[in-house]
A and B are shown apart, each in its own frame.
Chain A
Amino acid sequence: MFLIAFAVPAFAGPFEDAVAKFANDDFSDTDEAIGAVASSGNKLAFPIISALQDGRLMADPDSKKVYVTGSDGKSIDAATGEPVASVPDSASAVRLNNRLRRSVDAALGSLTLQSPDLATRLQAAQSVFKSHEESALEPVDAALAKETSKSVKVALGEARAAILLFKPDATEVEKLEAVATIRARGDQEALALLTGMGDQPALVAKAAASAIGSIQSSLAVWSTVQNAWYGLSLGSVLLLAAIGLAITFGVMGVINMAHGEMVMIGAYTTFVVQEVIRTRYPGLFDYSLLIAVPLAFLVAGAIGVVIERGIIRFLYGRPLETLLATWGLSLVLQQEVRTMFGPTNREVGNPSWMSGAFELGQITITYNRLWILCFTLAVFAILLAMLRYTALGLEMRAVTQNRRMAASMGIATSRVDALTFGLGSGIAGIAGVALSQIDNVSPNLGQSYIIDSFMVVVFGGVGNLWGTLVGAFTLGIANKFLEPVAGAVLGKIAILVLIILFIQKRPRGLFALKGRAVEA
């Protein structure tokens, strides 16, 4: 009680008078009240104005009392800050019109410009930039004088420039400086500001036109960069889904139509790991993916080995039959997962280090996409190294190149077959862990990747991992550059048609092997 009494004097002063004006239900009185409250320096100013913005500021026209209702339903007296048991029924929310809304925005902006929290200050500066209300000029100048953070200073400078541009009595020199500042900002909002500023002195208009041109061309560059980033991101997803296939189809020549289901199993492994962590060890949630990656590899890899031993080894040399049998297998696996986990999407969460985004120039990069790209490249590099430097890799290549010779040199070809297939499936499982972060985890997850994955492998050239890499990124980037032109679905159709045409031209892909060995 004492503290509140100290903070808010009990006698009626200019602040209390201003607050009472809210109860008049008159737009111009409300406007005056906003200005007076915002400049009062009172602690209650911010809660009152933000309540006004949200329609939570209640005024009783009979008693001229004004209340702030919190989002938790509790109310305080706006003039004194004392809690009240309930707002009288006769009170109603203070009404706003568009002009007042701008005043509210500007008042809130200036109120928060000097907040101790850096993020709030930055946001306030941004909102002033957008509203560019003349009334905010003074608070902005005041804030600029005190500001120490470089980024907030820049934002405040831009806000000031925006205000000056729209201030009718600003000097030409001020306006030219303002145009230069906004040109330096160079984003979509700067462009909107410059194009929407109406009549200006000739010199300023000229400077603005040149700034518009420069911003537009820089934005075009950034949109290309953005598309390229989206393309890389899609390419990494395609590569991730296709790498395992590049092993089973590319290296072994086995058509595994259940490859997508291996991806799906990886995703469900992630789901199970997260479920266990949620119920038993909630603290480990951020490590869930690190735990899921090896597990998914083992689960999918083991299923792969079983599939190879149980079905595929009887079908070597009969690719079309392999295709049919593995398609049947994919139906069984989907239905099995549907029976175990239900037909609907399951929730797989992002660990904290996978959520959020950061800005790079004019584009936004989300952490999950970035991590997936890095992860994909890491998996690719490890796989390449494994094939090149380990004994299993050597045996694998030997068996692929000449099965009979490898067998006669004492390599257990059937063991190598099983392990190779297990490796391909295991990598598909790992892909599932990553894809669970950006896609719906449902029994149909794999289906959506199988055709794309085959396209990547066939396009890149069978039997060549580098071809798969180039193929995945080429298709990813081509897709994202076609999308803005043709739309998502037509873009995808166009890509499919292009690949079909491409296969006619180079039936064995981008990086095809040549010579007599190919025919065998």
Chain B
Amino acid sequence: MTTPSTLPTAPAPAPAPAAVPAPLPHRRRRAPKAPSALLSRAGVTALLALATLYTLLPLTWLLLSSTKSRADLFGTNGFAPGRDMHLAENLEQLFTADGGVYLRWILNTVAYAGVGALLAAVFSVAAGYAFDKLAFPGKERLFSLVLLGVMVPGTALAIPLFLLAAEAGLVNTFWSVFLPGLVFPFGVYLARVFSASYVPDEVLEAARMDGASEFRAFRTIAFPMLAPGFVTIFLFQFTQIWNSFFLPLVMLSDQDLYPVNLGLYVWYSSALSQGHPEDYLLAVVGSLVAVAPLIAVFLMLQRFWKSGMTAGAVK
């Protein structure tokens, strides 16, 4: 469960002070155009630098901390390297702890997120294509149902899903986390947009004229055209399942079925309070290893991702 946000945050004293000194320099800056452009460029750069720091600082901490021994972890500055290199030992500990359960968590996550997102992307593309190209009764009404699904956040569905899974006897099984990952309404919506912009009706017309069945037209003609969209949807869902925490938390209690984030949380949550600091270090190193595949997937597929993100921007 997410921690309840603090109620009494100070009321934001937002625009008032900024607005007051505005008029005076405004007129002065107007006349020579260069400083304003320079200022905005410096401003944008500063903002980007801040965002970069925000993204990279935790990663730096993670990277440095993973190389430290336990004494250095608490004894040296978080953003300075430790006194000696301990990464190899830490990694070895990580993969042998609790009978090598970490590797199992990684494999589970790959199955939940990798296979799950792959299937989810296939279903989404097929459904989105059907919504775009085929005519069937109640189509738009069905599609608004899909849009409704987009609006409901996944966390809100975890408990109802859990109760359903309990009815079906699926709690604490692989399927309880895998099956919900196959449903991705936002992917269906995206796929419909992709299909509209990537797959010309004329091509399908030609395929049908040549005697291709609807399924064949989709499989051999439309699907390859939708490849960038497919990858985009896959990546979206992949990260979503990879990061999903609450659903596996309520569904699973068998450690051998845990995805990696839940497993790391088990290590982290009881490590320091129960005097097992080695678990804390394991959680740190484990987090580093767990983000590596995500980075790899993105580096490999960002070409598709980028083209997918801007698809339909012009048309």
A and B are interacting partners: no
Write the residues of chain A forming the contact surface with B, with a CB cutoff of 8 angstroms: none
